[in-house]
Structure 1
Amino acid sequence: MPEPSVRVRECTKLFDMRDGYPFARNVLGFSDPSMAWIEDRWIMFIGGMVPTFRTNIYSFELPPGAPVTSDQWRPSPSGVVSARRLRPIVAQPGRGSWNRCMHSVCFARGVADGETVERIYHAGRSSETVLNGRLPYRIGYLERRHGESWRSAPAPLPLHGPGLPSVLEPKVEYHDGLWRMRFLTIPAAKPGSEDPAQFRIMHTTSVNGRDGWTTPEEWFGTKDGFFDSVVVHDDNRALMAITRDSDLEGRVNNPPQGVWLSEADGPGDPRPNWSRPARVFAAEDAGYEWTARGMCAPSAVWADPEHETLSVFFAGAPRDRTWSRLAIDAVRRRRLPPFPSPVYFTIGRLDLDVGGSSDLARLQ
């Protein structure tokens, strides 16, 4: 049998919450990156958690023209307050707002009301900290039009309801005149990541990406255990990168972790036209401590003009996360110990050689 055409080219750690960030002492951790090519450079929109455990959205960027595989990520100048302080791209929503804490970001550019707009879809909740385990998640977005600043939508999208009590992890693309979203729904009683057996990924479309969403249909059910799915395409094919929920809490009998790929002729194909997902990266067996407990929140982009390399950015869960051990190790290295936190995560990039024709069936 021929060798599979998909192989791991490189897996690179970009940020590690346990090490802290010399450029951002006022942010504890970054998570859920989303890539965007804007004007002449790559931009990374990413969720950030501050010492009060509230979350907001920040911006990093590469030098003009640098490839997305570059490691020269730096905070966007507009977000730099001082040498060690960053500001988010929008002010923190007020107390009681539906999106008081924002995360699970996804950049998308498309047409709404006859005008090209940029949006950052995100999950939000009205709690004072992202650690709240009771209130449900909702999905909304920030929007920016030409010459304007980012503005937050005043209300969440009308996606939750009977059977969809808590919705999060929006992954949105615009093509063929439609905004297409896949999102996660979980029981309202478990708005965190406690039970992967309850996860379902739904799919819906809208002409303007604001309202008029079609009735959500299930793309992945509770038996699949998937948490996120993002689509990238060219003129010849579409690839869907899929992940499970990374294990931040230390679950017992955690399901296999990593990245799966599925393929279809086009990004708007219905679910039956996509190939069965094939795991192309096994996180627990790959030998990277900093993502050994899995990855989630993928953002996939082509890394080369030939569309043979797919770069998948993600939030990872490290194996070593007990604060006492991390503190002792830091002291031995003559460094400050990390901030005590119930969770620690990393940011990484997985480069996959998918060839000119991936033929994922050979991996199944």
Structure 2
Amino acid sequence: MKFIVNKPIKLFDQIDKYDGLNNILGIGDPHVVKINNQWWMFFGGFQTNFKNNIFTASLPVGEPLSSNNWKITRSQGKPTKAKALAENSVKGSWDAFGYHTPCYASGLGIDGKEVERVYYTGRASNKVVDNQEPYSIGVMEKTPNGWIRHPHPIIKGTKESPNVLEPKARYIEGMWRIWYVTTKQETGKKGYPNYRINYIESKDGISNWSEPVPLFLEDENYYDASVHSANGIGYEMAVCRSTNLYGRKDFPKQGLWLLKGLAPNGTRENWSHAPELVIDAQNGEEWYRNGIGSPSGHYGESVEDKDTLYMFFTGLHHKRNWLNIAFDRIKQRKIPPFPSPFYFTIGKIELKKISE
């Protein structure tokens, strides 16, 4: 695969805030999907109650992915509030501290009827990283009364690797398929990243999952594996690594890589032997220099851009010192961001394919 790589652009920046919304402090982990005739983005948001939830943004009906007119969905009658997909779970629940890394998929459910779902990572620990309780994977399903959360996790870790997270769910060729991460602990200020990506599949997307197949082992340390159709000729997979939240020097190389495969599975031999680096974060712009996460890609739908791959992702700012950031904002006569140990941006990059 060879691409002409355009300059990444910012869509939503935590430092710039979010156009008057006051109930979300930071957002990231975009998953972009077309529903009917409209492109939607599902993303995770850190709320003013210090819990994570799932929110959405959309393009105007009929506008293509080349458009940047994304608008965050607001609560009806409350123009300063971003609308959450569902209420947070009650205290003591397995995901009481929030829902992370949403991934939308539609397909045939348990009764054989079409369903819309959002798979997510549930957090039981009050710490996002260096967590004390394990992460598990859950699911919400759309009903006439809104999005209803399944009461129990559908994927849990093991004694040796208790955390499962970053579900990338797809319904392809009659099967629900999930590529996900497993690890002993989410790495923050201490420890070294130790991640594995597994693949599982199921007929109903809730139960009877196949035995996990390891796709990437700990020595490669990839953190996300997002699959998309390659213009009807096989599939492509975008991978990245756990973002370097605290700017540590002993972290794996940050960036975005692509692989090619004939089938949407977890067999390593099916995918490119050597992932191709398309964004080198270290040599990129400040707003993603500390890492790239949660890639989500689609090719254009028109004749003009059918060979353009639109990749959406989370970028992690290199700048972390709130006082310095606040001072720069004040000099520009702009409002400083909420104090945070790190700052996220949702971005997009256009990759023009020129050869296989």
TM-score, length-scaled by structure 2: 0.93
Matched, 1:275 2:294: no
Contact 1:53 1:130 in 2 (8 A): no
Alignment of 1:206-217 (within 5 A): 206-217=202-213
CA contact (8 A) 1:54 1:130 kept: no
In 2, Cα distance between the equivalents of 1:163 and 1:216? 14
Gap change, CA 1:11 and 1:18, over 3 Å in 2: same
Q: Are the counterparts in 2 of residues 236 and 266 from structure 1 also a CA contact under 8 Å? A: no
CA displacement at 1:300 relative to structure 2: 1.2
Distance 1:28 1:224, change over 3 A: same
Counterpart among 230, 234, 237 of residue 237 in structure 1: 234
**1:218 maps to which of 210, 214, 218:** 214
C-alpha contact 1:35 1:43 (8 A) present in aligned 2? yes
Q: Residue 175 of structure 1: CA displacement?
A: 0.8
Q: CA 1:195–1:351 in structure 2 vs 1: closer, same or farther (change >3 Å)?
A: farther
Quick check: 2:235–2:262 contact (8 Å CA) kept in 1? yes
Q: Is the 8 A contact 2:216 2:268 kept in 1?
A: no
Task: Spell out the pairing of 1:78-97 with structure 2 (5 A cutoff).
Answer: 79-97=75-93
Aligned residues: 349
Instruction: Flag the 1:10–1:69 CA change in 2: closer, same or farther, 3 A.
Output: farther
Match of 2:114 among 113, 116, 124: 116
The Cα offsets for residues 326-350 of structure 1, whole Å up to 9 and x where unpaired, read as 1111111112221111221111011
Change beyond 3 A, Cα 1:304–1:9 = farther
CA RMSD of aligned residues (A): 1.8
Look up the match of 1:290. 287
Tell me by how many angstroms 1:248 deviates.
1.6
Secondary structure, aligned partner of 1:325: helix
After superposition, where does 1:1-364 map in structure 2 within 5 Å? Answer: 5-77=2-74, 79-100=75-96, 101-113=98-110, 114-128=112-126, 130=128, 133-145=131-143, 147-187=144-184, 190-193=185-188, 195=191, 197-233=193-229, 234-268=231-265, 270-276=267-273, 277-286=275-284, 288-305=285-302, 307-355=306-354, 358-359=355-356
SS at match of 2:326: helix
1:131-165: per-residue Cα shift (whole Å, max 9, x none)?
672111000111115x4521111100143223331
SS at structure 1 position matched to 2:328: helix
Distance 1:192 1:305 in 2: 42
- Counterparts of 2:302 and 2:187, CA distance in 1: 39
CA distance in 1 between partners of 2:77 and 2:233 (Å):
44
Q: State the distance in 2 between where 1:343 and 1:80 align.
A: 31
Superposed displacement of residue 80, structure 1: 4.6
Unaligned 5+ segments in structure 1 are 360-364
Structure 2 segments unaligned to the other structure (5+ residues): none
Q: What letter matches 2:151 in structure 1?
A: P
The structure whose residues are more often strand, as a share, is 2
User: CA contact under 8 A between 1:136 and 1:165: conserved in structure 2?
Assistant: yes
Distance 1:90 1:223 in 2: 37
